[in-house]
Amino acid sequence: MMNNYILFLITLFCWSPTWYLIKFQLGYVDPLVSVFYRFLIAAIIIFIYLVIKNKNLKFSINHHFWFLFFGTCLYSINYVFFYLSNTYLISAFPAIVFSTVVIMNILGETFYFKKKPSLKTLIGATIGMIGIIIIFNDEIFNFSLSEDTHVGLFLALIGTFCASTGNMVHQRNLNNNFLPIQTIAYAMLYGSFVTFLVTQVRGAELLFENSVSYISSLLYLSIFGSIFAFVSYLKLLEKVGPGRAGYVGVIMPVLALIISTIFEKLEWQIDLIIGLPILIIGAILVINQKTKAN
């Protein structure tokens, strides 16, 4: 059980800073070009590791189809929609929308794999969502459909659905004995190519920024935000299932808020002070369970 917590914490602490560091990717280089760079670099690093370890890299066309499907969902299209949603929504809102991934994963497990969530999982997820609502009540209940913000909400929801679909595809691949690290390597490679195609359709130039802030944030996003975070998260998904692993998406906005407090001088209000403990209780209930044998 401690191993599950370690995977959970590694994922959280690798992913949470990415919401802040993405700010350093915006500006001179088109954001989606930066996403292309991010996953291409991550894929190359993983492939170098696999070659050094002399791991098998030859797979059937059927395998490559599922690599492509997985990579398109989790390492491309969801990022495309989230970056586009940021042009319509306040910065914190995409993270809030992404927290619904835990509900989508639970529903996905039920629909695709006929796996009903335990009562404890449902209670924990519900408590966690209540915590999110308390923390972000002002943004949620004062949400306005003016100035195309409804478009941003729709784009963020599509992005979350794509991420959840990627979780389901990975679960399907695991059920069919796909090798996890090789799957991630090919999926990131294919995902980067799909993103590149999207950038070309949008007419974005393939530029690069030679600043310390851009390069250092890109390396963090590639190595820690992609390789370490996704390997840990997908290992957690393998051990506890998509429904419970998806709870990372509920806690992550809170840690992103803490990072904003440190670096962007965010002031904590009473709703954040009340909602955070509730969110943590929900996370404990969801994660602290014995994994049922298949």
pTM higher than 0.85: no
pLDDT digits (tens, 9 = 90+) for 21-50: 887 877 788 889 999 999 999 999 999 999
pLDDT digits (tens, 9 = 90+) for 128-168: 788 878 877 776 676 665 656 677 778 888 999 999 999 99
Distance, C-alpha 126 to centroid of its chain? 20
Q: What average pLDDT score do residues 264-286 get?
A: 77
Taking Cα atoms as reference points, which of 238, 249, 240 lies closest to residue 279?
Answer: 249
Share above pLDDT 70 across residues of the chain, in percent, rounded to a whole number: 88
102 within domain boundaries:
yes
294 within domain boundaries:
no
Instruction: Note the residue count of the chain.
Output: 294
Q: What average pLDDT score do residues 12-29 get?
A: 82
pLDDT of residue 289: 58
Encoded tokens for 68: 């492509």
* Distance between CA atoms of residues 106 and 179, nearest Å: 24
176 within domain boundaries:
yes
Helix segments in the chain, DSSP class H = 2-15, 18-21, 31-52, 61-72, 78-85, 93-98, 101-113, 119-135, 137-141, 149-175, 180-201, 212-222, 229-240, 242-245, 248-264, 270-287
62 within domain boundaries:
yes
The domain total for the chain is 1
Looking at residue 225, its amino acid is: G
Q: Where in the sequence is the domain holding 122, given as residue range(s)?
A: 2-287
pLDDT of residue 153: 76
Q: Is the pLDDT of residue 287 over 60?
A: yes
pLDDT of residue 147: 56
pLDDT digits (tens, 9 = 90+) for 157-210: 899 999 999 999 998 998 999 999 999 999 999 999 999 999 999 899 999 999
Looking at residue 12, its amino acid is: L
pLDDT digits (tens, 9 = 90+) for 42-84: 999 999 999 999 999 999 999 999 999 999 999 999 988 887 7
293 within domain boundaries:
no
Mean pLDDT in the chain? 84
292 within domain boundaries:
no
Higher-pLDDT residue of 201 and 94 is 201
User: Is there a contact between 190 and 68 (Cβ–Cβ < 8 Å)?
Assistant: yes
pLDDT of residue 291: 45
Burial level of 70, CB count in 10 A (0-12/13-18/19+)? buried
Dihedral angle, C-alpha 19, 22, 23, 29, nearest 10 °:
-160
Q: Is the pLDDT of residue 232 over 70?
A: yes
93 within domain boundaries:
yes
211 within domain boundaries:
yes
